[in-house]
């Protein structure tokens, strides 16, 4: 009995929802086995990372706080990914937004007023967009791949962060630690739920998800993004300029990453430090694909990936799991998602010689070029 992949007549909607769940399940099982073979309590690691935080009310606060920046960045990236604009520089744009907002904070350190925090947020948004404008310009004007340019820019921006922390922005009262002064009360995100760690960035992430859903599904701009992603030639025929979509999606991705950056700097960090690059920009790529590039699905995926951060911290203390285990689980999740995605367009068939559906069978007559029955119809 042979096992074969048979093309589906059209992509399976059920599998579009089921495969992310299957990828997570395969990650849990494989991770447990792998870490057991390495000498750790593998199944205990899965329990501590993916189960225990869900039943601890105090860890839910950490979960929401860590999921917010992942969701914000992934929502911005997902719009570009729909248009085949591959922004891999969200980590640098996240840092750039944090730096821009921190610059405003340092300039207003001796001031007070409710206008300071909005100014910091606006600066963070513009800082992320400025970082994204570089690969956008290179792609549109010079034809440079935004994958390479945005990826390389990450390291340049992080080096700028290190320079500022050890030089011009170093706190003179910070006992020689490479960090800025702590932000004041007017420069810090307010708490959204009194008595918890949940700051204003959490409801902002939910609002952004709803806005992005409306943009992608109910506006002409969202339609342009989808058309360019499906066929740039068809988009040009319809009067849509690909360069405009490239600029729009990259600036949107950079702006969202910068927004997440200033939310983190003015929220959990409360200052700028060299440890600010946390890998959120890279993890958000996994979040975007796990959420199927759908803003609502991205919120759920962000909670799953946030579990790896929250649970990974507790697993290090409870069972001695190395900190790199978090990255291993995240990488496996993306690997399995890409692997099981084949089930969206193909189905498994058991038999001695599974035949392809009529739309995939070549039909030819003497003197004719072979065509498919689906094309002939």
What's the pLDDT at 352? 53
Question: What's the CA angle centered on 173, arms 168 and 174, to 5 degrees?
Answer: 80
Q: Please choose, from the candidates 57, 44, 136, the residue with its C-alpha nearest in 3D space to the C-alpha of residue 93.
A: 136
Q: What is the pTM of this model?
A: 0.89
What's the pLDDT at 175? 85
What's the pLDDT at 362? 43
Contact by Cβ (8 Å): 270, 182: yes
Q: Where are the domains of the chain?
A: 32-40+48-322
What's the pLDDT at 1? 57
What's the pLDDT at 57? 81
What's the pLDDT at 33? 94
Residue 303: what are its φ and ψ, rounded to 5°?
-65, -40
- Three-state secondary structure string covering the chain: CEEEEEECCCCCHHHHHHHHHHHHHHHHHHHHHHHHHCCCCHHHHHHHHHHHHHHCHHHHHHHHHHHHHHHHHHHHHHHHHHCCCCCCCHHHHHHHHHHHHHHHHHHCCCCCCCCHHHHHHHHHHHHHHHHHHHHHHHHHHHCCCHHHHHHHHHHHHHHHHHHHHHCCCCCCCCCCCCCCCCCCHHHCCCECCCCCCCECHHHHHHHHHHHHHHHHHHCHHHHHHHHHHHCHHHHHHCCCCHHHHHHHHHHHHHHHHHHHHHHHHHHHHCCCCCCCCCCHHHHHHHHHHHCCCCHHHHHHHHHHHHHHHHHHHHHHHHCCCCCCHHHHHHHHHHHHHHHHCHHHHEEEEEECCCCCCHHHCEECCCCCCCEEHHHHC
pLDDT digit string (tens) for the chain, length 377 residues? 577 888 888 888 889 889 999 999 999 999 999 999 988 888 998 999 998 888 888 888 999 999 999 999 999 999 999 999 999 999 999 999 999 999 999 999 989 999 999 999 999 999 999 999 999 999 999 999 999 999 999 999 999 999 999 999 999 888 889 999 999 999 999 999 988 889 999 999 999 999 999 999 999 999 999 999 888 888 888 888 889 999 999 999 999 999 999 999 999 999 999 999 989 999 999 999 999 999 999 999 999 999 999 998 888 888 888 888 888 999 999 999 999 999 888 988 876 544 444 444 444 444 444 444 444 33
What's the pLDDT at 236? 83
Q: How far is CA 348 from CA 8, 207, 342, 358, in A?
A: 10, 40, 10, 17
Q: 32-40+48-322 sits in which CATH class?
A: mainly alpha
CA distance 16 to 246: 26
CA dihedral sign, ordered 364, 369, 370, 373: negative
């Amino acid at each position: 009995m042979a096992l074969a992949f048979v093309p589906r007549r059209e992509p399976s909607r059920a599998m579009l929802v089921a495969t992310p769940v299957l990828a997570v399940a395969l990650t849990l099982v494989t991770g447990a086995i792998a870490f057991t073979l390495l000498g750790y309590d593998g199944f205990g690691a899965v329990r501590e990372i993916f189960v225990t935080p869900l039943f601890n009310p105090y860890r839910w606060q950490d979960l929401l706080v860590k999921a917010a920046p992942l969701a914000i960045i992934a929502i911005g990236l997902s719009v570009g990914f729909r248009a085949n604009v591959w922004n891999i520089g969200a980590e640098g744009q996240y840092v750039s937004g944090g730096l821009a907002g921190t610059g405003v904070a340092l300039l207003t350190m001796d001031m007070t007023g409710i206008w300071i925090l909005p100014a910091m947020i606006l600066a963070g948004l513009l800082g992320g967009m400025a970082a994204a404008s570089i690969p956008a310009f290179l792609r549109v004007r010079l034809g440079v791949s935004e994958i390479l340019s945005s990826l390389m820019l990450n390291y340049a921006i992080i080096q700028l962060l290190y320079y500022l922390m050890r030089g011009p922005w170093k706190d003179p009262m910070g006992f020689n630690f490479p960090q800025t002064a702590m932000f004041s009360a007017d420069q810090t995100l307010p708490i959204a739920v009194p008595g918890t760690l949940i700051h204003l960035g959490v409801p902002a992430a939910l609002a952004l998800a709803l806005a992005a859903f409306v943009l992608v599904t109910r506006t002409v701009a969202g339609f342009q993004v989808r058309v360019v992603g499906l066929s740039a030639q068809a988009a040009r025929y319809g009067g849509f300029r690909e360069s405009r979509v490239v600029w729009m999606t990259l600036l949107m991705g950079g702006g969202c990453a910068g927004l997440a950056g200033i939310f983190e700097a003015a929220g959990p960090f409360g200052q700028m430090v060299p440890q600010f690059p946390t890998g959120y920009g890279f993890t958000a790529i996994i979040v975007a694909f796990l959420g199927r590039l759908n803003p609502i699905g991205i919120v759920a995926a962000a909670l799953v990936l946030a579990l790896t951060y929250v649970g990974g911290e507790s697993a290090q203390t409870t069972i001695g799991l190395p900190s790199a285990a978090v990255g291993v689980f995240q990488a496996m999740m993306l690997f399995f998602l890409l692997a099981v995605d084949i089930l969206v367009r193909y189905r498994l068939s058991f038999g001695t010689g599974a035949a392809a559906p009529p739309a995939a069978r070549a039909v030819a007559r003497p003197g004719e070029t072979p065509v498919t029955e689906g094309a002939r119809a």
